[in-house]
Amino acid sequence: MSLKKRYGPWALIVGGSEGIGDHLARKLGAAGVNIVLVARKPGPLAETSQKIRDESGVEVRTLQLDISRDDMLARIREVTDGLDVGLLVHNVGGGKGFGPFVDCALEEVMSAVLTNPVAITKLAHHFGKPMAERGRGGILMIGSMAGNAGSYFLATYSAAKAYNQILMEALWAEFQPRGVDVLAFPIGAAATPSRARSGTIDADEMPVARPEDVAQQALDQLPHGPVYVSSENAEYFKALSSMPRREAAELQRDLLMRMLRAPTKGSAAEH
């Protein structure tokens, strides 16, 4: 079954202006799926939407929005009500809470919670219901390896990604018999613009994926949920999931310390 038939006629991509989101939107557009793009940065949002129109000729709607806002769902409904949204994509990073938990402002540490568990729960409930009723559609969450262990300097980010993954597993169990595909795709590092801005360096044990490859793998694996881990990250994912929790937390701490140029407060990378 084609992407358009399975997930069209509209896809909503939250976090769709750069990196993985950009490539997901362009690949779906090339398959004839109309796109609603939601992102914070107006420049990349306009550039990506124009690329999709030029390359594919599909209809594209955009919404500049910080999804940590209380009225997030209402704002998104303003551009999606009346559309047959067959695919929901949540491709959102960690927001501002990157650094020692107690040294960050409460607003910063709450950012990952609001943009991940709160946002994806609201979106999946709103858009998942009509998908389940018509027996067709998909929900895709781009996650993080950090969601498999409490991660140094990423306390609420790693906790938020863990919630997202468990939610996707539960929704897959509910939706799969009703014809709706659900997939969590926890990734490691990807060569996105946000990673370039994040102040991290490469670690030998964390391969850096191309965002176009992640996007293609996500679309290919969407019918085969609930969780997909790429081959280069599978061993690390399995180790984090199975080792004693103290060892997992220590492993993540050591990895993050090697990846940081300096252990200072900053902003978490986004996808």
Long-range contacts of 262-265 (CB under 8 A, 24+ apart): 262/199, 263/153, 264/99, 265/98, 265/99, 265/100, 265/103, 265/104
Buried b (16+ CB within 10 A) or exposed e, 107-138: ebbbbbbbbbbbbbeebbebbbeebbeeebbb
What distance in Å separates the CA atoms of residue 16 and residue 36, rounded to the nearest whole number?
A: 9
Of the residues 27, 161, 163, 236, which is catalytic? 161
Annotated catalytic, 228? no
What distance in Å separates the CA atoms of residue 187 and residue 108, rounded to the nearest whole number?
A: 23
Annotated catalytic, 27? no
Of the residues 7, 152, 157, 236, which is catalytic? 157
What distance in Å separates the CA atoms of residue 75 and residue 58, rounded to the nearest whole number?
A: 22
Instruction: Find, among 151, 137, 217, 232, the residue nearest to 185 by Cα.
Output: 217
DSSP lists the bridge partners of residue 208 as: 189
Residues marked active site are found at 157, 161
